[in-house]
Structure 1
């Protein structure tokens, strides 16, 4: 093991120990806060817990990047030969639909007639999202819902188009069913939206790796508040307060095709209320509402909700990347993305030479 890698692993293990200690202190502080004592201490510990989670995720990424020593691997056993290989490439659908009859200040500010065509670094937002998946090396087929060949976009990779749909739920539903038409075999697929132009291949790869070993039916990305605030202090994102910290959506989802088809009807209300935390909690029932009001709602509670409401196993993936939480819905968010790129010329979106990796796309 290289000294750099060993040092990173030691730091990660120390962070995990700190997380365990903070978790115990959080439980004690929660009990005290329930009786009206030391609410500030609880807030501090929640913030510290979120910070350490993000730090652990960053250390895991650094360990992945650190050089590995050469290994001499034993010959695979007969049992290993019979194991199913882990899925390497994932078909993806990108929801890029919009309402042509609805006035949108973002379209007026950008001078375009379609949200996914809002320019960022000289290219439409959807272009950056597609390129992120292509450059990750983890993509198979790509389905875009809401655009067509008539828009004349060259992604440097083949894509399948689905006509515009009237809502986000209709867009993702159409995307899932188009992937089923392309290949009816059950497999893991990825879903996302066209309005996260700062997505990179590195983020996609990191998300996929941290969903492994793919032993649940659905994974979704979430971003800690402190990560978002460091990257975009004025993003005005909606956060769900949990015992472990406050989180917003990361707009990346990985799940089995059969699961995506199964939950379509049940998930519609949650997609339509995605910007309103209170309304979403209302859909989950009184027990969840009470835990939320008394600041006792946890990530484990949300996993139980996935099982109880949707009948599936699921889990969140905590993302240490503010970029994936910065969706562009309003003019001020577009301005923040442009300003962010001006402050970070090293970001891949800023004129980086885009690869034309197409293997596995046909």
Structure 2
């Protein structure tokens, strides 16, 4: 059993009147509750902490173990959650906006991440997997040697590495739209290979591991729901259609 931090930051959202999209309702249920339910259903998660604006998240207190009041960036919120669970060997981090998440998907990722013995594990999902599961959902993909992949919204991390990794992570986020600046962090040859689809998963793992002085591992997941997050109104509409379809199938 491991502990989990759900990121429910106080970001501005065009998807709801509330500033946190955690409370967007899908079939009469706040989006974050689908995530909480999936984590519990995995039978792999012990304590759950939600990080965000406590004044907005108070209603969740009966469903989770603690709410950590924090109103910074996503990286600040990750660090706040990691400090709370600083004695843990590994910690699961989840966003609040993957309402199709299932306990089976969570259990599979946790099991495989722990087996890897890496300091940080990140799920990636093949485009074919996503297209088969959710053909209406449009995601952003990176082309690697092994195929086209999108990133997931869970990751496993050793809490002790977070503070020393934040500077590089902040640079990568800040420079993500500037290839010239990003090349200072990742290196120009790396970026060229990435842009031309000649980079392998192992090369990405090795580059991240070297930059952060850790062992990083990409976990290819067969569960498309891990990467099916809600960023725009069209995502809400697509997910509601899938939920309605699944409800009809159950009935």
Please report the TM-score for the alignment, with normalisation by the length of structure 2: 0.88
- Aligned to 1:95, what secondary structure does the other structure show? strand
**Cα distance 1:219–1:330, how it changes in 2: closer, same or farther (>3 A)?**
same
SS at match of 2:9: coil
Q: 1:144 aligns with which of 50, 54, 70?
A: 50
Q: Which runs of no fewer than 5 residues in structure 2 stay unpaired?
A: none
Distance change in 2, residues 1:273/1:326 (3 Å): farther
Q: Secondary structure at the match of 2:85?
A: helix
Question: Equivalent residue for 2:186?
Answer: 284
Structure 1 or 2, whichever has the larger Rg, is 1
CA distance in 1: counterparts of 2:64 and 2:72, whole angstroms: 25
CA distance in 2, matches of 1:220, 1:147: 26
Cross-structure match for 2:237? 335
Distance 1:174 1:280, change over 3 A: farther
Structure 1 counterpart SS, 2:197: coil
Partner of 1:8: none
1:95 maps to what in 2?
A: 7
Query: Given that residues 49 and 64 in structure 2 are in contact (C-alpha distance below 8 angstroms), is that contact kept between their aligned partners in structure 1?
Result: no
Give the Å deviation of 1:244: 0.2
* Residue 306 (str. 1) matches residue 187 (str. 2): no
Instruction: State the partner residue of 1:296.
Output: 198
The one of 140, 143, 163 aligned to 1:241: 143
Contact (CA 8 Å) 1:238, 1:277: kept in 2 or not? no
1:106 and 2:15 correspond:
yes
Gaps of at least 5 residues in structure 1 are 1-88, 352-362
- Aligned mates of 1:262, 1:179 — CA distance in 2: 16
Structure with the higher strand share, 1 or 2? 2
TM-fit CA distance, 1:176: 1.3
**1:198-256 superposed Cα distances (whole Å, 9 cap, x missing partner):** 11111110111222424221111111111112233343322111000011111111121
Specify the alignment match of 2:78 in structure 1: 172
Match of 2:246 in 1: 344
Could you tell me how far apart the structure 2 residues matched to 1:241 and 1:121 are?
35
User: What SS does the aligned partner of 2:237 have?
Assistant: helix
* 1:117 counterpart = 2:23: yes
Partners of 1:206 and 1:346 lie apart in 2 by: 26
Equivalent in 91, 115, 136 of residue 189 of structure 1: 91
Q: How does 1:15-94 map to 2 (within 5 A)?
A: 89-94=1-6
Is 1:220 matched up with 2:122? yes
The RMSD of aligned alpha carbons is 2.6
Q: Secondary structure at the match of 1:106?
A: coil
After TM superposition, which residue ranges in structure 1, 4 or more long, deviate above 6 angstroms?
none
Cross-structure match for 1:206: 108
Corresponding residue SS for 2:118 = coil
Give the Cα–Cα distance (whole angstroms) in 2 for the partners of residues 307 and 299 of structure 1: 12
Cα 1:154–1:94, aligned 2, differ >3 Å: closer, same or farther? closer
TM-score, L = length of structure 1: 0.63
